């Protein structure tokens, strides 16, 4: 899922004043200095991979320190479990069902609102360094002051995992690869360097927003030297085993197609151990960023938020990577940790939050109002010590239907070949699905497959599917209704720009050859 290699100079001429620009200018709130904004955004990071989220094995001192200095959101879930669609929701505050951004090829267009565009038009300099997967090429110049996707030394632009998409795979698709080498010879380190240059050299005449979508810990599973073998498979807690009853059909199909049935638990535990090494490398990058902020004094006037677009199976259920229709908690539950000027320290907010809450939170910090209808909620009350709404639920959508072939992945090679082949061979396995999570329950509705219901209070690992059980009929009915109500309230958001209902004056001929009179004569007969 590499980003688009873009030429900033080729696109900058497309920028211009727009209707949203005037809205943002009117929405700006005067008075006081506004903080800089940084969103550090690892790809495919599970919340439970961090020590501050209870992991007993991983070493993540930077994430843990940030949690001690600010607020950790215990229950943050994404809108959808794949990179591009999740990021589109985050920057718009809208769920997939309201925008149609499904799959990897449907990115935010120039006429769609997005957080960076609102910030830029509201007086911020906006920087985007890293993997894209969110903005269409034509959208960059209107939304950003500067951008880059630095490749690793010797790699092609946009290729964050050299060789992963080329060649033919003979053995099982474990996605395990050798170590990548020096920790400072990665595309992610290039992203970090660009960010630190902005922090160190930029004059403070305007506040800035830095978006840093680093690639790690996204598969393939490999990390730089010193991180690749940081964890021993035998030291890890048990994985969720494959083959348990009540699982959707794609579990067995993936294991069969990827030939994962041929590997034993030791190999899957190696997958998890290497994934944890990637997480610790990402933690090192965050630590370098935080050190630069402290060294320059920018930690005092900068809001720092970290989160991720989705999680990863990393060996759970006998699976690797992610799946378009997957709604398991290991895919939806992501870290969300924030430190803001004037905020509380060492706070844990237990109420449900959602990834797209980033949008109103950054706008509140920037003293800007949203330029469009959205359904996200600001996290500022929690960053100041609140717990959040105890009755809030988190909603996630996944998949696409067979009548939407344009949303399916293009055929791929290398480590991803079998994934695209399986979706093409059995498209029902990536069929649309949706979930609702409350403080206690998880409910997944699959119109074309097996639905799921879990009581996380009694079954925190979600091993026992309660769907259809008479004992939980009332709970299932209530969650089905809640999911339906949410769809009714969020689907089909009207555009903000209204059109005239009047018929415009005739200014051009209707006939193919330009003879309007001849066309009218034919119609009058």
Residue whose structure tokens are 């709130």: 29
Computed over every residue of the chain, the mean pLDDT equals: 90
Distance, in Å, from the CA atom of 311 to the CA atom of 307, rounded to the nearest integer, reads: 11
Diameter over CA atoms, the chain: 86
Cis geometry, peptide bond prior to residue 217 (ω within 30 degrees of 0):
yes
What average pLDDT does the segment 495-518 reach?
71
pLDDT digit string, tens, across residues 222-236: 999 999 999 999 999
**How many degrees, rounded to 5, is the angle at CA 419 between CA 413 and CA 423?**
120
- Look at residue 56 and tell me whether its pLDDT is greater than 90: yes
If pLDDT is split at 50, 70 and 90, which confidence band does 163 have? low
If pLDDT is split at 50, 70 and 90, which confidence band does 106 have? confident
Of 443 and 162, more confident: 443
**Domain map (residue ranges) of the chain:** 8-393
Q: What's the distance, CA 434 to chain centroid? A: 16
Domain made up of 8-393: CATH architecture? 3-Layer(aba) Sandwich (3.40)
Distance, in Å, from the CA atom of 218 to the CA atom of 2, rounded to the nearest integer, reads: 11
pLDDT for 291 equals 99
Distance, in Å, from the CA atom of 59 to the CA atom of 71, rounded to the nearest integer, reads: 19
Structure tokens at 412: 């791929």
pLDDT for 17 equals 30
What average pLDDT does the segment 295-324 reach?
98
Distance, in Å, from the CA atom of 112 to the CA atom of 134, rounded to the nearest integer, reads: 12
Q: What is the DSSP secondary-structure string of 216-234?
A: TTPSSB---TTTTTSS-GG
pLDDT for 28 equals 42
Q: Note the pTM of the prediction, 2 decimals.
A: 0.90
Q: Of 446, 450, 445, give the one whose Cα is nearest residue 480.
A: 445
Whether 448 and 428 have beta carbons less than 8 Å apart is answered as yes
What average pLDDT does the segment 119-127 reach?
98
Distance, in Å, from the CA atom of 12 to the CA atom of 149, rounded to the nearest integer, reads: 16
- Look at residue 1 and tell me whether its pLDDT is greater than 70: no
3-state secondary structure of 196: helix
- Look at residue 514 and tell me whether its pLDDT is greater than 70: no
pLDDT digit string, tens, across residues 222-277: 999 999 999 999 999 999 999 889 999 999 999 999 999 999 999 999 999 999 99
pLDDT for 170 equals 81
b/e map 431-460, b = 16+ CB within 10 Å: bbbbbbbbeebbbbbbebbbbbbbbeeeee
Whether 39 and 358 have beta carbons less than 8 Å apart is answered as yes
| Residues in Cβ contact with 320 at an 8 Å cutoff, skipping those fewer than 6 apart | 173, 174, 175, 219, 221, 258, 260, 271, 312, 313, 314
pLDDT digit string, tens, across residues 470-489: 999 999 999 999 999 999 99
Structure tokens at 354: 């959602």
Distance, in Å, from the CA atom of 369 to the CA atom of 379, rounded to the nearest integer, reads: 15
pLDDT digit string, tens, across residues 354-365: 999 999 999 999
Distance, in Å, from the CA atom of 59 to the CA atom of 198, rounded to the nearest integer, reads: 28
């Amino acid at each position: 899922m590499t980003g688009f290699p873009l030429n900033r100079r080729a696109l900058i001429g497309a920028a211009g004043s727009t209707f949203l620009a005037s809205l943002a200018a009117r929405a700006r709130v005067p008075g006081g200095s506004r903080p800089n904004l940084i969103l550090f955004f690892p790809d495919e990071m599970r919340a439970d991979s961090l020590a501050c989220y209870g992991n007993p094995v991983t070493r993540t001192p930077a994430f843990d320190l940030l949690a001690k200095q600010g607020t950790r959101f215990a229950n943050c879930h994404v809108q959808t479990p794949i990179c591009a669609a999740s990021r589109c929701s985050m920057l718009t505050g809208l769920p997939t069902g309201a925008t149609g951004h499904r799959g990897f090829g449907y990115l935010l267009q120039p006429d769609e609102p997005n957080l960076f565009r609102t910030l830029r038009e509201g007086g911020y300099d906006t920087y985007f360094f890293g993997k894209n997967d969110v903005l269409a090429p034509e959208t960059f110049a209107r939304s950003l002051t500067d951008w880059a996707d630095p490749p690793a030394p010797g790699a092609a632009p946009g290729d964050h995992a050299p060789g992963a998409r080329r060649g033919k795979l003979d053995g099982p698709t474990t996605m395990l690869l050798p170590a990548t080498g020096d920790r400072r010879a990665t595309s992610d380190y290039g992203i970090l360097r660009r960010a630190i240059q902005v922090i160190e050299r930029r004059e403070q005449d305007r506040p800035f927003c830095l978006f840093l979508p680093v690639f790690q810990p996204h598969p393939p599973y490999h990390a730089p030297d010193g991180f690749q073998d940081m964890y021993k498979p035998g030291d890890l807690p048990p994985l969720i085993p494959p083959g348990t009853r009540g699982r959707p059909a794609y579990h067995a199909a993936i294991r069969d197609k990827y030939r994962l049935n041929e590997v034993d638990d030791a190999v899957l535990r190696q997958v998890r151990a290497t994934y944890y090494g990637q997480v610790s490398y990402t933690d090192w990058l965050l630590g370098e960023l935080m050190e630069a902020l402290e060294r320059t004094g920018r930690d005092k006037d900068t809001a720092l938020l970290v989160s991720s677009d989705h999680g990863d199976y990393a060996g759970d259920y006998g699976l690797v990577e992610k799946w378009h229709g997957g709604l398991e908690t290991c895919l939806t539950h992501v870290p969300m940790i924030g430190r803001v000027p004037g905020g509380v320290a060492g706070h844990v907010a237990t109420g449900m939050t959602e990834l797209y809450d980033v949008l109103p939170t950054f706008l509140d910090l920037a003293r800007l109002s949203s330029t469009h209808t959205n359904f996200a909620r600001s996290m500022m009350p929690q960053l100041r010590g609140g717990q959040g709404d105890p009755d809030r639920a988190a909603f996630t959508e996944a998949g696409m239907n067979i009548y939407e072939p344009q949303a399916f992945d293009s055929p791929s090679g290398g480590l991803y070949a079998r994934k695209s082949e399986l979706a093409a061979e059995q498209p029902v396995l990536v069929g649309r699905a949706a979930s609702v999570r409350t403080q206690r329950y998880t409910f997944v509705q699959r119109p074309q497959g097996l639905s799921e219901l879990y009581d996380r209070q009694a079954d925190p690992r979600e091993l026992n599917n309660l769907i259809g059980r008479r004992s939980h009929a009332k709970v299932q009915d209530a969650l089905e209704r809640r999911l339906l109500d949410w769809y009714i309230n969020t689907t089909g958001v009207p555009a903000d720009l209204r059109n005239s209902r009047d018929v415009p004056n005739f200014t051009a001929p209707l006939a193919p050859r330009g003879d309007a009179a001849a066309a009218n004569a034919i119609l009058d007969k």
